[in-house]
Amino acid sequence: MVGVYDSGVGGLSVWKELLALMPWQDYVYVADSANCPYGEKSPGFIAGRAAAVARFLIDSGADVVVVACNTATAAAISCLRQAFPVPFVGMEPAVKPAAELSRTGVVGVLATANTFRGRLYRDTVVRFASDIKVVEVVGRGLVEAVEKGETPSGLIRSYVDGMTSQGADVIVLGCTHFPFLEKEISVAAGPDVRILNPAPAVARQTQRVLDRISAAHRVHVPPSSVFYSTGDVSVLRRLAMETDPSLAQDAFKTINI
């Protein structure tokens, strides 16, 4: 079983790729929607929430936990790997492939404030993008919009313009909520700008981890996906059922963690 954790519904963009790659797997998803967004909360608070959710996922039978949240990965994944016996897969900033793809030598990264402050992101930029210009834009308001099922076109355009006006020809989606706005981001950026969503790479890494721990084929027939939220489940249900219309209504539950 694969456990998936996000501050809210954004991690569904990763679950979607996991499901496409490994449709035979069981999945249990936790959205900490009561505390979303994480973008400017303290690292200590996020680490505490991550530990509580990880414990729940492992107790539910997860063989691997995917921290499908860039902010939680930055704040907590090192502590999670030390505290729990199962492997954790986090979100990697897609700065390296962006730097390799850029023709202008300018890359835009759209993320939360805490992701930009995180050591993982800073180290990645130093290692792989020291010879290019990285334009960092904090996407304030976008996570909240996705959580409400809204598309804030004006905000999106202002953030995208902040990157493309400086020459960015690749934009990295540095938050798992942002793929739900990818179409609008792409329209605002124009046809000559590449949009990078790291979720498919995270799904492939999860499959490699499952293969390594010999858990890839410990599955039930038929496979199941169950979704928990610490807040409202309505947007979680709608977005998940857009990916898999066969999901039952009772697959979505509220939980107090």
pLDDT at 126 over 60: yes
Q: What is the mean pLDDT of residues 150-172?
A: 97
Please write the tens of the pLDDT for every residue from 4-55.
Answer: 999 999 999 999 999 999 999 999 999 999 999 998 899 999 999 999 999 9
pTM: 0.93
Read off the pLDDT of residues 174-227 as tens digits, 9 standing for 90 and up: 999 999 999 999 999 999 999 999 999 999 999 999 999 875 555 556 788 999
134-165 exposure pattern, b = at least 16 Cβ within 10 A, e = fewer: bbbbbbebbbebbbeeeebeebbeebbebbbe
Which one-letter DSSP state was computed for residue 7?
Answer: S
CA distances for 138 relative to 39, 49, 152, 217, angstroms:
9, 22, 15, 40
Q: Which of 89, 175, 202, 209 is flagged as catalytic?
A: 175
175 assigned to active site: yes
Q: How far apart are the first and last CA of the chain?
A: 20
pLDDT at 92: 86
Q: What are the structural domains of the chain?
A: 2-91+200-254 (3.40.50.1860), 95-197 (3.40.50.1860)
| 58, containing H or E segment | helix 43-59
CA torsion 6-68-172-186 (nearest 10°) is -70
- Which of 18, 46, 69, 80 is catalytic? The answer is 69
From 10, 234, 182, select the one nearest 112 (Cα to Cα).
10
Query: From the CB of residue 97, how many other CB atoms can be counted at a distance below 10 Å?
Result: 18
What does the block give as tokens for 143?
């996570």
**How many Å apart are CA 63 and CA 48, to the nearest integer?**
21
Per-residue pLDDT tens for 58-75? 999 999 999 999 999 999
pLDDT at 201: 95
